[in-house]
Structure 1
C-alpha cells in the first residue's frame, strides 16, 4: 500500500482534528470525499466504469466469456478478479510491491463479490455442469491517494451495473450434442441485478476515534483499519482487519456499527447516479479500442457520498451552488 512520511507535529495536528471531528480537509469523521463515476468508458469490454474518489482513480473492465462451472457448484457461474497496480499511480507499486498489493486486493474482492449473496451466480449458468458465464473483472489503479478498497468496490458495482451479456440459445445437433449460439442483437442481452452487491467501507483507527475514507496522511497516523462490506439493506457480509496494530473489542463493535450505517447510506444515491448516468446514452464518449489505460476527457457525474451528520447552512448553500454548476 502506498505510504507517506508524516512528522510528529503533523501527526498530532491530524489526530487532534479527528478527535474534534474536523479533519485536515474540512470533513467530519464519517464523510467521504467527492466522488466521480463514469460507466461504459471502454468500448472493447462488456461493462466498464471509472471512479475517482478524491485523488484516487480506479478503472474497471469486465469481459464475459463462456467457461466450465466449478465442480462444487455446477449450476452457477463465477467471477475472476485481477488487479493491476500501475507504477504510474505511485512508484511504490513497481516490482514486488505492486504484485503483493494486487494479490491482496484480488483475494479480498473475490471474498466480497464472488458469492450468491452478492450476485445471482445462477443467472450466469448456461447449462448445468457444462457451460457457464465467467466474468473476468480487471481492475486498474490509475492514481492512489488512499482508500483503495472503497473506491474499487464502487467501481466494480458500477461496472457490473453496466455489464451486458449476450443471450444464449442452445440447440441440439443431429448427434444429440449441444450447440451454443450467441445473439448478434446488441439489445438481446442479459443484465445483472446489482441491488444486493455490497460496497466496502474502510474505517481507520486514528487516536481514540475512527474515520471513513482516510487519505494517505491519515492512513499514516492510523494503527489499524477495518474493512466492512455492506449491502443496501445494511447487512454486513465480510469483515477484515488490515494493518499491524491491534483493535480492542469495543472499538471493533463501534467501527462495525459506523460501517454498517455509512455503507447502507451509500447504495441508494449510488444507484440513482448510475441510472442517471446510463440515461445519457450516446451523449457519452468511449475510450478508443486498445487504449485501456488512456482515457479521454469524458463528461462526468459528480456525487458526494451522503454524510451521517446534518449539513450546516454554509455547507448546504455551497452544495446547492456546486450542484447547479455541475448540472448546468
Structure 2
C-alpha cells in the first residue's frame, strides 16, 4: 500500500525473520510499533483525533447533523464513513489512485460498526421516526507507512470517544412536525458510549504459515494476503459503570490481497487477532481516560494543529 519496492533477497530476509519470530525492526510477530494519539484538536468538529503509528499519520474529524431515521431503523441514528487518501501520503495516491483503497477501508468500517453489539445507534435517536443524529466520520490519510486499517480504526474510536453532541432541551409539536430546541450552552452536551466500538486488527500472512500484526510497508509488500478482523471492545476500559459482563466478539472479517489462507492455519490466526484486539482496546481506553483527566486539570492545549 505504501509503494515500497523490495528485491527478492530482501523479501527472503523478511520471510525468514518472521519464521524466527524476529522482525526487521526488532519486534516479535504480535508487537505493535509506537503509537502517538491526541483528541479534540479540530475546533469546528464535534470530535476529532490525530494518530501516528510509526510513519502512518491519520486525522479524523466527526460532525453531527440532525437527520430523519430510515423506515427500517426508526429508532436509530446514522453513521457514515468517508476516507480521503492524500496525494502526499504516497505516490500511489496521486490522481484517483487512492479511491479504491479509501472505499475498501470505509466499507470495512461500516461492516464492523453495523451490528448493535459493536455500536448502538439507538443512542443517536432523538425522536423515533422523526429526528436522529447522523455522524459524518471524515478520515484523512496524511502519510502511509503500513497498517492503515488498524491505524484508522484506532483514530475513529478515539474521535468518537471525544465527540460531544448538543443536548436537546425540548421540542414543540406543530401539526405533526417536531421543532427541536437545542441547548445554547456549548458545554451542555452528551458523550457517546463507544466502549463496544470495534477495532480492526490486521494479520498479514508472510511465508507459508507465518503471520504478523501491524505490518510495516516492507512486510505488506512481502505478504500475498492479509486478514482484517473487527474486534468489539469492552466498555469498562472506557470508564463505564455497567455491572453486566461484556462478551467481546469478532464483528467482521475481510481478506484483502490476491493470495489464500489455509483452513488449518485460520483458527490460530483468528485467536491471535482476537487476543491482540482485546489488548489494543485496553491500552486505548487507558490512554483516552488519562488524556481526559489531564485536560480537566489544565486548560492549556498543546499538540498537532494547536
Say yes or no: TM over 0.5.
yes
Q: What is the alpha-carbon distance in structure 2 between the residues aligned to residue 255 and residue 217 of structure 1?
A: 21
Q: Which residue, out of 254, 259, 267, partners 2:281? A: 267
Q: What is the alpha-carbon distance in structure 1 between the residues aligned to residue 177 and residue 107 of structure 2?
A: 37
TM superposition shift of 1:176: 5.6
Q: Which residue, out of 255, 258, 265, partners 1:251? A: 265
Is 1:283 the counterpart of 2:300 in the alignment?
Answer: yes
SS of equivalent to 1:283? coil
Q: What is the alpha-carbon distance in structure 2 between the residues aligned to residue 125 and residue 132 of structure 1?
A: 4
Query: Structure 2-normalised TM-score?
Result: 0.91
Q: Which residue pairs with 1:319 in the alignment?
A: none
TM superposition shift of 1:173: 4.9
Q: Which residue pairs with 2:151 in the alignment?
A: 151
8 A contact 2:76–2:121 mirrored in 1? yes
TM superposition shift of 1:214: 0.3
8 A contact 2:115–2:251 mirrored in 1? no
Q: What is the alpha-carbon distance in structure 1 between the residues aligned to residue 265 and residue 224 of structure 2?
A: 12
Q: Report Cα offsets for 1:78-103 as digits up to 9, x if no partner.
A: 10111000001011111221111111
Q: Which residue pairs with 1:39 in the alignment?
A: 39
8 A contact 2:130–2:178 mirrored in 1? no
Query: Structure 1-normalised TM-score?
Result: 0.85
TM superposition shift of 1:175: 4.6
8 A contact 1:57–1:141 mirrored in 2? yes
TM superposition shift of 1:122: 0.6
SS of equivalent to 1:279? helix
SS of equivalent to 1:96? coil
TM superposition shift of 1:130: 1.3
* Residues 1:21 and 1:133: Cα distance change in structure 2 (over 3 Å): same
Q: Which residue pairs with 1:198 in the alignment?
A: 198
Q: Which residue pairs with 2:236 in the alignment?
A: none
* Residues 1:173 and 1:113: Cα distance change in structure 2 (over 3 Å): closer
* Residues 1:75 and 1:176: Cα distance change in structure 2 (over 3 Å): closer
Q: Which residue pairs with 2:139 in the alignment?
A: 139
Aligned length: 289
Q: CA RMSD in A?
A: 1.4
Q: What is the alpha-carbon distance in structure 1 between the residues aligned to residue 178 and residue 79 of structure 2?
A: 24
Q: How does 1:105-254 map to 2 (within 5 A)?
A: 105-173=105-173, 175=175, 177-207=177-207, 208-232=209-233, 233-254=247-268
8 A contact 2:3–2:90 mirrored in 1? no
Q: What is the alpha-carbon distance in structure 2 between the residues aligned to residue 236 and residue 175 of structure 1?
A: 46
SS of equivalent to 2:49? strand
| Stretch deviating more after TM superposition (275-284 or 199-208) | 275-284
Q: What is the alpha-carbon distance in structure 2 between the residues aligned to residue 184 and residue 72 of structure 1?
A: 32
